[in-house]
Amino acid sequence: MSENTLNMKVVEGSYAVAHAVMRCRPDVISAYPITPQTHIVENLSQMVADGELDSEFLTVDSEFSALSVLVGASAAGGRCYSSTTSQGLALMYEVLYNVSGMRLPIVMNVANRAVGAPLNIWNDQQDAVGARDVGWLQIYVEDVQEAVDTTLQAYKIAEDPEIKMPVMVCMDGYILTHVYEPVQLLDEQLCDQFLPPFRPADVLDPDHPKTFGAFADPSTYMEFRYKQFEAQHKSLDVIEKVARQFEQTFGRYYGGLLDSYQMDDAEVVIVTMGSVIGTIKDAIDAMRAEGKKVGLLKVRSYRPFPVQALRKALKNAAVIAVLEKDVAIGGEAGLVTDLKAAFYNSSIKTPIIGFTAGLGGRDITIKDIRKIVERAEAARKGIESEFEFLDLRTEIL
Amino acid sequence: MGIVAGSLVDPCSTRITKTGAWRTFVPVVDHDQCIKCSLCEIYCPEGCIHQENGNFVPDLDYCKGCSVCANECPRMAITMVLEEK
């Protein structure tokens, strides 16, 4: 039994994430409770009350206020944390742009959940994928350990002086927030070594007054947006670098931008993000045993979208099936649209088909994965349907 | 002038950034009709009407031409005139 396994504890995903946040030593936490994020901030509130965590914990009247509080606190030089989901993220929308526009390196866990109407509290990823263009980096995690480790990495990425961008660590609601599984909680000393105190170059200081997020007329506004655009693209290298530094310190690595499973000789490749990867790996094991050359490519960084890394990773695939828990009503869905765009001007002319699945918490089963692979194999001879809702109950339509 | 990420600027940036170009109509004050009640100065949402040598004058670097001064003036001494540039 390795040292790592010995230190594992069986805890709830939300506790594990809250513990990781505590290790990051945030100065200010502001959040509004919303299912399935509640346990994360409940745990943090408890840690502050018990004196385990020295942090200002602000309870506010809404998610709009929660993130607005952090705009001020971050501009004043504090390391800031929030967490939300679904309707809460929707209510934050205006502030999301303010945070990224003011280049405030706030980190937030999004416990991915369906968005109403119809009212639904279960998991999918429509909430965060819908906010893909607001300037925040978005990293999607597969399991609780990765959620823990990525939360720590997120601050290091966000606070890099070359980046200065907020990060959402997206974890599937319930599936990861409410599961109890063995996790290695982060060691205090190693965390302090990995993540130094936040010392931003520019802060709100009465002795040296400055305005954050000042008015920009048509002669400069585009340049501010360009700087954010540029910082997102620069962060591709930083995400990878930080993942490697994390590996050196803690011995765990998830791929920086992408991760893969059984990709070496894979002909059919499933591209996806989040916790459904566990199911897909099991399905691939079963199909591999039957001689089917199926592989998996996990998109860890959805924003920035790693175009070059994707082209490289997928260049030998015969057919690509994208599976995602979101839908772009009126278009197709986020990941498949971005992937097609990434390939259009490249030499890769692999057929790409897209599936939206698991909306509103519907289970995605091994049978569903097999169905996707069958559809993908058929698409090698010609695409019949470019995009579909998987497992649709046509009998009630 | 280079821009700083986060649109960080030193205080009082509006002294440099003029916003009067948004205007379509410009307030013209008839100083003979004016009774110096200062309602135009009080109501101006931009705070850009001030007394100069006893007369109320809009600062055209910032006036947006919103007409509030003209509407509030009890003497109808302010006329909004289409400004051609």
Nearest by CB to A223, which of B3, B11, B17?
A: B3
Cβ-Cβ contacts under 8 Å, A223 against chain B: 3
Q: Is the CB of residue B2 less than 8 Å away from at least one CB of chain A?
A: no
Q: Which tokens belong to A296? A: 């998996």
Residues 6+ apart with CB under 8 A from A316: A266
* Backbone φ, ψ for residue A16 (5° rounding): -60, -40
pLDDT at A378: 97
Nearest by CB to A103, which of B6, B9, B17?
A: B6
Q: Is the CB of residue A224 less than 8 Å away from at least one CB of chain B?
A: yes
Between chain A and chain B, the number of residue pairs with CB atoms below 8 A apart is 50
Cα gap A134→A136, rounded to integer Å: 6
Predicted ipTM? Answer: 0.77
**Rg of chain A in Å (alpha carbons):** 21
Q: Is the CB of residue B24 less than 8 Å away from at least one CB of chain A?
A: no
Q: Which amino acid is at A4?
A: N
Chain length of chain A: 397
Q: How close B33 comes to chain A (CA, Å)?
A: 37
Q: Which amino acid is at A313?
A: A
**Please, are residues A26 and A73 in contact by the beta-carbon 8 Å criterion?**
no
The DSSP element (H or E) to which A182 belongs, if any, is strand A180-184
Cis preceding linkage at A351, omega within 30? no
pTM here is 0.93
Nearest by CB to B5, which of A164, A215, A217?
A: A164
DSSP letter string, A221-261? HHHHHHHHHHHHHHHHHHHHHHHHHHHHHHS----SSEEEE
The secondary structure of residue A345, as a DSSP letter, is: T
Helix (H, G, I), strand (E, B) or coil at A168: strand
Cα gap A263→A339, rounded to integer Å: 17
Chain B, nearest residue to A166 by Cα:
B6
Q: Is the CB of residue B8 less than 8 Å away from at least one CB of chain A?
A: yes
Q: Which residues of A330-357 are buried (b: 16+ CB within 10 A; e: fewer)?
A: eebbbbbbbbeebbeeeebebbbbbbbb
Cα gap A154→A145, rounded to integer Å: 14
How confident is the prediction along chain A (397 residues), in pLDDT tens digits per residue? 445 566 799 999 999 999 999 999 999 999 999 999 999 999 999 999 999 999 999 999 999 999 999 999 999 999 999 999 999 999 999 999 999 999 999 999 999 999 999 999 999 999 999 999 999 999 999 999 999 999 999 999 999 999 999 999 999 999 999 999 999 999 999 999 999 999 999 999 999 998 999 888 888 999 999 999 999 999 999 999 999 999 999 999 999 999 999 999 999 999 999 999 999 999 999 999 999 999 999 999 999 999 999 999 999 999 999 999 999 999 999 999 999 999 999 998 999 999 999 999 999 999 999 999 999 999 999 999 999 999 999 999 9
Q: Which amino acid is at A186?
A: L
Nearest by CB to A213, which of B6, B10, B14?
A: B6
Chain A, nearest residue to B11 by Cα:
A210
Chain B, nearest residue to A103 by Cα:
B6
Cα gap A64→A67, rounded to integer Å: 6
Cα gap A369→A152, rounded to integer Å: 32
Cβ-Cβ contacts under 8 Å, B5 against chain A: 103, 164, 224, 227-228, 231
